[in-house]
Amino acid sequence: MALLGIAGCNLFNPTQSVDIASNDAAALTYEGYLHFQKTEYGMAREYFERAIHADSSYSEAWYGYAKAIASMQPGLNPFELVTLTKSSSTNPFGAFKAMNDKDAKILSNGIDSVMLVLDEFIVLDTTGRTDKRVRFSHFADSYSILCMAQAGLVARNEDLDLGDILYVDQNGIHIDFSSMGSSIQNAQKIAGAMAKLGKGLKADKDKAGSVIRNMMPDSTGDWLTDKAYADFTDHAANFMIDKGEQLEKIDVNRADVFYNYGNITDDDGDGCVDEEVIDGFDNDGDGEVDEDPRSQAVNVTDMNSIQYTTNIIYPPVKELKMVGRYESGDVDIDMNGLAGDNDPDEWTFKNKDYSVRFNNGDHLLKFAFKADFFSPYFMNLSPEERIEIKDAVRHDTDPNNIQYSLQQRQQLIGGCWNNYDETRFRLWIMSRNAL
């Protein structure tokens, strides 16, 4: 695949003479392509830029402008870029981490320069302000490669592994924001790149699955068919856009509530531990969605219910499975003294059938009824007041200066605090977790 390759064989109509001093966008664009074909990229860029100034809706000028800038960037070789984003079975996305600082900086600056142009053009295209001769969808696959490389370089600079953040298993494509490190600033940078990647994938659904597949180890072909890759990629793209934009906008002081997946910690102060499921719904009844979530790997997708999720961000969840640290049976999600197989209510939806949950809007897990977030005091508060109380409680962790007693937490919040005894309460104060 050639980076930013020609989207059509007849992008412009050449003229016998070109008045380079005119404000004719078509003539200026044609002159730009003449210089581009001679590898005179600086001159080509100048003509494309003049064409855009003459007519900002002239899509062929934008396209040429991006191609010229891409060709001017040292180290931005399209074929090498595809190779960099191709994973190996042993070290997914390891090529970015292996780059030396100088080469990584050059590549990062080059990609950023191209993305500035493409992002501006994409806004014009998706809001109907171009002539539509060249569309975002024409180069969406190349744009996705650039986005993935950009995310890989951000992850490299923050000493993170992109292969831990974006991965595939038998249940689909996953984006695990818990692997973005402890800094919300780092998470926001990667999330922003992932959100743009999602938009690129959605711009051409036919190519999206193959783009993602190229980024995954070859072994994933044993798990997913081409159609399954395409189906899951569309949902993964929605997820990247939604969560990426959410993290970019979220209050940094509370971002850990939403991006620390499966850390076996009460991140939001309701006394529960990893209580939510990443499905876009409120699973515990406290009024928030996807807060303090479990690892995304617990979700078993129900592809038979895919028709219910045409315009929904998340693939339908058929059921939950205990994986990783949850399998040991010592992670007590609702803190009632039971865990794992001994407390199936922590792992079972009230309505097992996704289509029923979708139609009636009830995505609660069974433990939520026993935890009782429906206490009169908590339910009568506004959403902002509920968050304010939970936020105060989650920061109340000094064992020598406890501000909210167990009894106060039960009265003010309820929820899983109703399941605590003094021993479990002391454990929470010491570590905010269930181990």
Which domain covers residue 246, as residue numbers? Answer: 73-259
pTM flag (> 0.75): no
- Give a yes or no: residue 61 inside a domain: no
**Model confidence pLDDT, tens digit, residues 256-312:** 888 788 888 999 999 999 999 988 899 998 889 899 999 878 988 776 665 555 545
Cβ contacts of 78 within 8 Å, gap of 6 or more: 1, 2, 3, 4, 70, 142
H helices of 133-180, where? Answer: 140-157, 162-165
Q: How confident is the model at residue 339 (pLDDT cuts 50, 70, 90)?
A: very high
Higher pLDDT, 141 or 26: 26
Q: Where are the beta strands (DSSP E) in 317-361?
A: 317-320
Q: How confident is the model at residue 86 (pLDDT cuts 50, 70, 90)?
A: low
Mean per-residue pLDDT for 330-341?
91
**Same structural domain for residues 242 and 320?**
no
Nearest to 83 by CA among 139, 140, 138, 152: 152
Identify whether 265 is part of a domain: no
pLDDT classification of 78: cutoffs 50, 70, 90: low
pLDDT band at 14 (very low <50, low <70, confident <90, very high): very low
Q: Sorting pLDDT into bands at 50, 70 and 90, what band is 190?
A: confident
> Within this chain, do residues 228 and 330 fall inside the same structural domain, yes or no?
no
Q: What is the pLDDT of residues 98-122, one digit of tens each?
A: 889 999 999 999 999 999 999 999 9
Identify the band that residue 375 occupies on the pLDDT scale cut at 50, 70 and 90. Answer: confident
Task: Look over the chain and give the mean of its residue pLDDT values, rounded to a whole number.
Answer: 81
- Which range, of 70-84, 257-271, 304-318, 408-422, averages the lowest pLDDT? 304-318
* Cα 361–Cα 367–Cα 370 angle in degrees, nearest 5: 105
**Looking at the 3D structure of the chain, how many domains does it have?**
2
Give a yes or no: residue 34 inside a domain.
no
**Is 276 among the domain residues?**
no
Is residue 272 domain-resident?
no
The answer on pLDDT for 343 being more than 50 is yes
